[in-house]
Structure 1
């Protein structure tokens, strides 16, 4: 054990013993270093370790605070699944995996509150670009995407130590569209695709529409069951895989670096393509985003997809794909199914990135989401049954709750009657593995409000419903 790990574990034991209660302020870095006679570097690494494992959180210009009093075994427990290939159509809930409600609730859809977005800066940028490039409105866009946006995205991720060529990138209508094109490029109707379980409900709906079968690979805070997954590859039971690897929706889990490396190795070894849905990669609560599995892909078998929908504005419908060895086929499929992406918006986003506004916004929103996740978890822990398990995400904006004894679908139905939008466990699997689980969005600040549509009032109503719904 290193010196910083030893120091971090001292604090973990202190927090477990409740000598440091929830919300307690910790010593400043220089004070910590002096108290324990260690270097400032060691003190910084100790706090980074505690943040990465969810025990503390940083509040800008205020310091470090105790964030978690749950032990690791308090997280939602995921069930082992059968290894059969399934048609998701046969198991889809009556309204689909991603059923839309008739009303809006901040707890339902995974998104950031509009008031946290850089609306005015983005509007100014769009206005400037419109005045200079109005002719782009009358031209069909390049099927691969505007070169300026591809270059801006490549430079943006190069700053975060993930380097790739803009020539190999394709612009799409959001991440779900990037995934759709990848599925259509790599597989045929009736083919089987391996997915992580639980899986984002929108992806399940997409697989239903595209008539693909699935095998669900169990995934927990420890990562994907790679033994099970490799057995499927060895037996040639799957034609492709579709995994999120960072800050997954709904579980909030992120795969360890070692697993990302292994997924890249398996894709290359068995020459079975893997689609990596990385829409949340930039929303790390610890600062810099993690590296995707694509980083370790040497032969081009990983198709990496992402978008601005979770970080900036879902309505822009701008995403991207790094298709690797499938670039030519991917562009061809993209060209014949949607004829490109709005050129004016592409040029506007390119300028927004180059101006530095996007980088500043992402840095701010990471810190804000860290605070919000902490606030939601603290509220839920104080107001839900003691045996409730709550996920501990290192990024993203959703929490995954397991409430033993609850009928989550019944709870969702009752909540909808009260105009509270949540997602029950049946939305994220074809198996009956998550019947006592729900997912909530934490993208809205949890501040006091009398407005019944506010996140605060919605969360109060949800906790009451959980206590009164069997």
Structure 2
């Protein structure tokens, strides 16, 4: 191991031994240099390593602290998401959808259902001022069709923004789309045909399953467990030529909240290149790490252009802006042609507004703030659930994102969903996230709303309390 890795391992050992409990403040970098006789570079890299692995987090002007996620190494709270899928056979997702579909409660909206951040946590006034400034300057632009690939101002702003996250690309390689799901749709239509089979993670975000149903693609599910994707299973699928593409989330995955290791992300890029089978990377939660440092996507290790990286501000800023993007790699020209064939570009005014918001630094400032808030909210939700649910309940320990994944033995979450909907509570049962009947005792909860005890029956606190009561009557 390198010097900084050795230093990091000392802290990991202390955290595992609970010599440094959750929330403990770590020594300042200059103190580390003095105590361990190392350079500032070594000390900084050690702390970066610990942050990337989820052991610690940084608080601006306050220092470094042991992360709540470190509890996972003392307590077995994580749901047993890894399932055995015996047959590597293509499945048409529409034939295996729950009775009401993969997204059955989309017509009902309360804070626990849809994965999104509460409006009060968004920089509404700053964004509105930005849109007004851009509108006043727009002039003729308002009456012209936008650049089909996306306005160069936004593509350049995004390239500069992500370079600060140590993920570099060129503006000319990026395509702007109408949100992340649109990026993924165009990628699927570019890379596959109707009736083709795509490998997906299991559990898989219900919206992606809905999309695959609509596009008439089949799926083979790759188990996603506490150690990440079952890459041996996935490679055997590739070796047999069973799929034309893969579709995976890799960071702050919905619904489990976990992030694949650097080793797994590298392996996915390598497998795509080795078998020349493209991988679509849905990375919409990329920026919502609960630490200051975002995990790098698989695309970072893609040297041959087989990874098609998709993202958006729909989760980090404003879903209503309908702005996303894609790095199609070697498929850039075919991706652009497919996009032009199915649309006439993306709203130019909104593109200019987002470019302005990024360039002023207000977007980065907002992201930094909301990361800390989400980390605290996830912690609050986990504590509430731990106190109010059966002792055998397992609750995920996400390193980022907005959701929690629960597993409660002997609970029929489809029946829970039915009763919750009748009580005006939106939630997602495990059945929404797979074509297999393996998550019947699992559910997903959105934690994007602050957990405040108010008299409003639609508040997240009141909704969560009622949901816990329903669960306790069913187990």
Confirm or deny that 1:76 pairs with 2:74. no
Residue matched to 1:219? 224
Residue matched to 1:447? 452
Residue matched to 1:8? 12
Does the 8 Å CA contact 1:59/1:371 hold for their aligned counterparts?
Answer: no
CA distance in 2, matches of 1:189, 1:102: 28
Residue matched to 2:150? 145
Name whichever of 343-352 and 75-84 sits farther off: 75-84
Residue matched to 1:119? 124
Does the 8 Å CA contact 1:52/1:394 hold for their aligned counterparts?
Answer: no
User: 149, 158, 170: which is aligned to 2:175?
Assistant: 170
* Residues 231-242 of structure 1: pairs in structure 2 closer than 5 A: 231-242=236-247
Name whichever of 391-400 and 96-105 sits farther off: 96-105
User: 250, 264, 274: which is aligned to 1:259?
Assistant: 264
**Structure 2: any 5+ residue segments left out of the alignment?**
none
Does the 8 Å CA contact 1:75/1:390 hold for their aligned counterparts?
Answer: yes
Does the 8 Å CA contact 1:5/1:49 hold for their aligned counterparts?
Answer: no
**Structure 1: any 5+ residue segments left out of the alignment?**
none
User: 324, 331, 335: which is aligned to 2:336?
Assistant: 331
Could you give the per-residue CA deviations for residues 322-352 of structure 1, whole angstroms, max 9, x where no partner exists?
1111111111111111211111111111111
Could you give the per-residue CA deviations for residues 96-142 of structure 1, whole angstroms, max 9, x where no partner exists?
21223443211100001101111111101100111111422221222
Residue matched to 1:67? 68
Could you give the per-residue CA deviations for residues 32-51 of structure 1, whole angstroms, max 9, x where no partner exists?
968x9546978877877776
Name whichever of 111-120 and 52-61 sits farther off: 52-61
Confirm or deny that 1:180 pairs with 2:178. no
Does the 8 Å CA contact 1:275/1:302 hold for their aligned counterparts?
Answer: yes
* Residues 171-320 of structure 1: pairs in structure 2 closer than 5 A: 171-320=176-325
How many residues in Structure 1 have an aligned counterpart in Structure 2?
463
Residue matched to 1:29? 27
Does the 8 Å CA contact 1:175/1:320 hold for their aligned counterparts?
Answer: yes
Aligned partner of residue 400 in structure 2, secondary structure: coil
Could you give the per-residue CA deviations for residues 353-394 of structure 1, whole angstroms, max 9, x where no partner exists?
111111111111111111111111111111111111111111
Confirm or deny that 1:435 pairs with 2:436. no
Does the 8 Å CA contact 1:305/1:319 hold for their aligned counterparts?
Answer: yes
Name whichever of 24-33 and 152-161 sits farther off: 24-33
CA distance in 2, matches of 1:373, 1:45: 27
Quote the offset at 1:8 in angstroms: 3.0
Residue matched to 2:392? 387
Could you give the per-residue CA deviations for residues 295-347 of structure 1, whole angstroms, max 9, x where no partner exists?
11111111110001000000100000011111111111111112111111111
Does the 8 Å CA contact 2:52/2:293 hold for their aligned counterparts?
Answer: no
* Residues 358-437 of structure 1: pairs in structure 2 closer than 5 A: 358-437=363-442
CA distance in 1, matches of 2:312, 2:367: 13
CA distance in 2, matches of 1:8, 1:427: 37
Aligned partner of residue 305 in structure 1, secondary structure: strand
Name whichever of 99-108 and 297-306 sits farther off: 99-108
Does the 8 Å CA contact 2:105/2:426 hold for their aligned counterparts?
Answer: no
Does the 8 Å CA contact 2:57/2:292 hold for their aligned counterparts?
Answer: no
RMSD: 2.3
CA distance in 1, matches of 2:283, 2:369: 20
Does the 8 Å CA contact 1:249/1:398 hold for their aligned counterparts?
Answer: yes
CA distance in 1, matches of 2:248, 2:106: 27
Does the 8 Å CA contact 1:33/1:43 hold for their aligned counterparts?
Answer: no
TM-score (norm: length of structure 2) = 0.92
Does the 8 Å CA contact 1:245/1:260 hold for their aligned counterparts?
Answer: yes
TM-score (norm: length of structure 1) = 0.93
CA distance in 2, matches of 1:285, 1:255: 15
Q: Structure 2 vs 1, CA of residues 49 and 329 (structure 1 numbering), >3 Å: closer, same or farther?
A: closer
Does the 8 Å CA contact 2:12/2:55 hold for their aligned counterparts?
Answer: no
CA distance in 2, matches of 1:296, 1:25: 33
